[in-house]
Structure 1
Amino acid sequence: MGDKGCGKSSMLLEAMRKINGEGCAMFEAHSDLELFRIRLGKALDYEFHEDYIGGYFSERGPRDTTALLDIERAMNKLEKVALRHRERKNKPLILIINQTQLLRDDHDGRDLLELLQQRAEQWAASNLVTMIFNTDDYWVLERFKQLATRMEIIPVGDLPKQQALSALQRYRHRYFKETLSKQALEEIYDLVGGRLSFLNRVAKSHNMLATCDSIMEIEKTWFLNQCWILGSDMDDDVMDQQKWASAAMVLAQALVDKEADMDKTYHPETGHVLPSFPMHKAQEIMTRADFIRELDRLNLFTITSTAQVRASSVPMHRAFKEICAQEGFRQFLQDTLQRIADIESLGRTRELVAKDLVLGGTYEIARAPDRSGKLEVTLKQKPEDEDDNDDDKK
């Protein structure tokens, strides 16, 4: 489990390369169960009877079933193969499911995760198959935690400072045969941190510092496009989206404020120390418990394997600081929150409109004596004045 771009898949592929892929199968997850089934079959070299023609003769065939049942059948076959493999090699097979977070968090997706986890637990106990689930998002870990007994969590994060500097040096030498000074390496690390995908992109660039700023601007634009607030003039039709956006902005501001109160935000050996909150505290700051997982899915914030909430990367945290440092931002955020509160207040308010009174008529409103909380409205007609003419009566 780790952030997007920190090298999880590359690490697994490198490990497979070192053993020439013997006893390993790897495939990409997908939200559609049919596609997941096909990719699993291809990875295991398992035939699902795709070309069965019994349907032409109105006969039920082995393919006339659901995707989950097909996946279960494939697992049964894999178990038989794993038994023979253990007898010959005395070691388990390895099945890697990459990007598990792409499964939908709905009824079908949860059923599939449950099926896979049950198999993983059984095979781990019998030393038949080691299943590796690779994910960016915390919700997958939450689902697994409910039934897990033999699960081991391997967090993969940004590289520590010295390893990041070494990786950047190797990348730069590979692409341009250039050796960077220590000062240049540290300046780049200060801007993008130890995220491998960022370091690789910077090393390929002719103007590395400009690329660092470009990465931060891309992260900032992505955050603003998803979560920008509209202030006190926003229309009431966008209130639901603005609740979500303002909660994200409140959390970003809280992280920036916490950094100012931290004793240490940079370690000379490990590098950046990003401010974070425990997940329950982040929900309290946002005053909502249902938003944080979606923010994690969009790679705006990250929920770590230890349930700590922080910015998704060093450039994203720099973007938070730039946004919160804008002149008038805090007041603009307060105006947005006040507008949301006013719209919610209007939604809870009922308005009584009195009209069509004849000239001089009045309403008398009083509480009903026998029904608590009820109002009694009586229409009284004012006596006509002798001086009133016919037009006044109309």
Structure 2
Amino acid sequence: MATRACVPASQTRQLRLFRQMLHVHSHAIRRPAARPCCLPLIQLRFQTTGGTGGGSDYQLGPSQEVQPQPNTQSWGDAGERDDETSRRHHRWKQTAYRMLESAATTGASLAILGYYKNLVLQKINNAFEPGDPVLELATAGRGASSVVPGGTAKEWIVRPEQDKLDDVVAGNTHGHYYLLLGEKGSGKTSMVLDAMQKVDDLEIFRIRLGKALDFEFHEDYIGSLFSIRGPRDTTALLDIERAFNKLEKVALKRRRRTGKPLVLIFNSMHLIRDDEDGLDLIELLQQRAEAWAATGLCTVLFCSDDYIVYEKLKHYASRMDLITVQDLPKNMAIAALRRYRQKHHSSQDSEADLSRIYQLVGGRLSYLSRVAQAEDMEAKANEIIENEERWLLTNCGLLGEGQDDDVNEYSKFASAAMVLCKALVEMEDDVEGGSYNDERGWKLPQVPLHIAREIMTRADFIHRYDHLNLFTIDSKAYVRADSVPMALAMRRVCKDPRFNQLLDDSLERIGQVESLGRTREITLKDLWESGKYEFAVHNAKGYKEKLMTFTAAPAEKDNESDGEDKK
């Protein structure tokens, strides 16, 4: 009994069309009917998109009918299972490929980030190499005509603080960090550069965080390629903390190799703002300085012009040493002037002339440099004093009684400064012989910080005066004029004939404005047009006992003025 296989409809149509073609072809060739066995065997296999089995297992023979082959597979559950197995195998291959691709991408990302981190350490390492651009610029400048006296043993004046600073920068001191405190122009930065030149080796590290540790702030950060949060997305304090963590790694390696601590110098600490963010930054730097000083890993040197930095660091300072830089004494200042004039101007100035110049500008290195470069030293010294006087009046000039209410805060600031100037000038007048002595030179009058606040009746202005270089506060909390030219400028201002009256008028006007701000006026509008109020007084039984009338009497000044008008 013949069995019939299930053939899809599409294949059935193809078979029917093929039989018609064969029929037409057989008529066209007109083969004899007696020899059907000579008909060539035509075989066709149908390609299907399914699995194994199907139409590909059927052939067309001489009878032009579809005949099953011996190894024909039946359609049913077995075919479906084979298809599911094939699809599952295909899915596993795709999953394995994707896993391999992700693993390769992750490995490449880690390798590139590792290279980046290694590049970070190389950048910090390069900051320790000789050839600091600050030193090169300073060295190039000393050959020019605008140089300040200093630098080499033949040209600079060796200050008493230079030896201690040399030991600090050379890494010979351990267990402490330092604050270099002094007025602007006293030679702090020059001393640091000189110490760095003397010890120009791999142990010296001069740093600006944005330059030497640019790994956290530079545009070459590649973490964004791999969806890694960048350093710029965080706060500035976290960036600095991350920079210090990298610095510690380099410091540990160099400590094992050299046996000396690194030297980290922060210049111009007074430029940090006096607010909460500035205080947080100073506390962060001090915490690191304390920790590094305890371990001997790094020696930190802070440089500042203002007393407020020392005031903030003093709260938590357990390992901090203070190095104060003051003006040169008279003998050293005159020696510096003579050496510079002989070298660059070939002039032989007398001792009296040099002493006169010192009497005008004092021992401040910046002023000595400017005066020594000029042809006429005395004219240049007087110009410096005039500039200081204009600076004082520009920032703290008095306005008198005609000042407006809107500038009351400025008037308070200016009048407090002038009151302190007057007190210092009067102290100088009371001293026998004044503040200048031919043997010892200048000794400016000074008062303790708390007394200065009592004189000004304000406690918050003194730090602003220090920042403006009007007054200075030394490490012992004494207040005096910022420099000798500023002290002479204060004397000129206070000796002006109009000064006392202008100061009194300004203080009186400030009191009036403050009084107006604290006074409240109550007005009874019913009394404006000759109105009046009546008050009745009743006894315990409710009977009226008194009737009082409240009216407004005209002012006496108004009556007098009216009488004068009538006359």
- Shorter-chain TM-score range: 0.7 to 0.9
How far apart, in 2, do the equivalents of 1:87 and 1:56 lie?
36
Q: Which residue of 2 aligns with 1:307?
A: 477
Pair 1:85 & 2:265 matched: no
Residues 95 and 224 (structure 1 numbering): CA distance in 2 closer, same or farther, change over 3 Å?
Answer: same
| Greater Rg over alpha carbons, structure | 2
Over 3 Å counting, the alpha-carbon distance change for 1:75 and 1:258 in structure 2 is: same
Residue 42 of structure 1: aligned partner = 211
Q: CA RMSD in A?
A: 2.3
SS of equivalent to 2:320: coil
Please name the residue that 2:449 is paired with. 279
| Contact map agreement 1:95 1:132 (CA 8 A) in 2 | yes
Is 1:25 aligned to 2:25, yes or no? Answer: no
* Residue 99 (1) aligns with residue 268 (2): yes
Counterpart Cα distance in 2 of 1:111 and 1:189 = 42
User: Following the alignment from structure 1 to structure 2, what is the Cα–Cα distance between the partners of residues 329 and 65?
Assistant: 54
Deviation at 1:66, TM superposition (A): 2.0
Match of residue 462, structure 2, among 281, 289, 292: 292
Equivalent pair of 2:389/2:490 in contact (CA under 8 Å): yes
Using the TM superposition, name which of 109-118 and 346-355 deviates more.
346-355
Identity %: 56
**Quick one: which of 487, 494, 512 aligns to 1:342?**
512
Inter-CA distance 364–351: structure 2 relative to 1 (3 Å threshold): farther
Q: TM-score, normalised by structure 1?
A: 0.86
Change (3 A) 1:364 1:140: farther
CA drift at 1:206: 1.1
TM-superposed deviation, 1:356? 5.5
Contact 2:267 2:302 in 1 (8 A): yes
Deviation at 1:69, TM superposition (A): 1.3
User: Which residue of structure 1 aligns with residue 288 of structure 2?
Assistant: 119
Deviations along 1:284-306, one digit per CA (max 9) or x if unpaired, are 00000011001101101001111
Checking the alignment, whether the CA contact within 8 Å between 1:274 and 1:311 is kept in structure 2 is yes
In structure 1, runs of 5+ residues without a counterpart are 28-38, 366-377, 383-394
Count of aligned residue pairs for this structure pair: 360
Q: 2:216·2:231 contact (CA, 8 Å) conserved in 1?
A: no
The TM-score with structure 2 as length reference comes to 0.60
Amino acid at match of 1:108: D
- Unaligned runs of 5+ residues in structure 2 are 1-180, 536-547, 553-567
Aligned 1:202-221 pairs, distance under 5 A: 202-221=371-390
AA of the residue aligned to 2:259 = N
Aligned to 1:332: 502
Supply the distance in 2 between the matched residues of 1:208 and 1:358 (Cα, whole angstroms): 72
3-state SS of the aligned residue for 2:304? coil
Match of residue 244, structure 2, among 71, 75, 83: 75
Distance 2:529 2:356 in 1: 81
Cα distance between partner residues in 1 of 2:387 and 2:515:
37
CA deviation after TM superposition for structure 1 residue 59, in Å:
4.2
Equivalent residue, structure 1, for 2:186: 6
Cα distance, 1:348–1:381 mapped onto 2, change above 3 Å: closer
Residue number in structure 1 paired with 2:3: none
Conserved 8 A contact 1:220-1:316: yes
Judging changes above 3 Å, is the alpha-carbon distance between structure 1 residues 15 and 269 closer, same or farther for their aligned structure 2 residues? farther
Question: Could you say if the C-alpha distance between residues 189 and 358 of structure 1 is closer, same or farther in structure 2, counting changes exceeding 3 Å?
Answer: closer
Q: 1:226 aligns with which of 370, 385, 395?
A: 395
User: What is the CA-CA distance between 1:117 and the residue it aligns to?
Assistant: 0.5
**Partner Cα separation in structure 2 for residue 297 and residue 241 of structure 1:** 16
> For residue 430 of structure 2, what is the aligned residue in structure 1?
261
Q: Report the more deviating stretch, 250-259 or 58-67.
A: 58-67
Matched letter for residue 503 of structure 2: L
Residue in structure 1 matched with residue 69 of structure 2 by the alignment: none
For residue 491 of structure 2, what is the amino acid of its counterpart? K
Q: Deviations over 1:253-307 (max 9, x none)?
A: 0000001122462344442000001000000000000110011011010011111
In structure 2, what residue type is equivalent to 1:153?
L
Shift of 1:61: 3.2
The one-letter amino acid paired with 1:8 is K
Q: Deviations over 1:96-136 (max 9, x none)?
A: 11000011111221111111111111111111111010000
1:364 deviates by 6.9
Structure 2 Cα separation of the partners of residues 133 and 285 of structure 1: 32
Which runs of structure 1 show a deviation greater than 4 angstroms over 4 or more consecutive aligned residues?
A: 44-49, 56-59, 356-360, 378-382
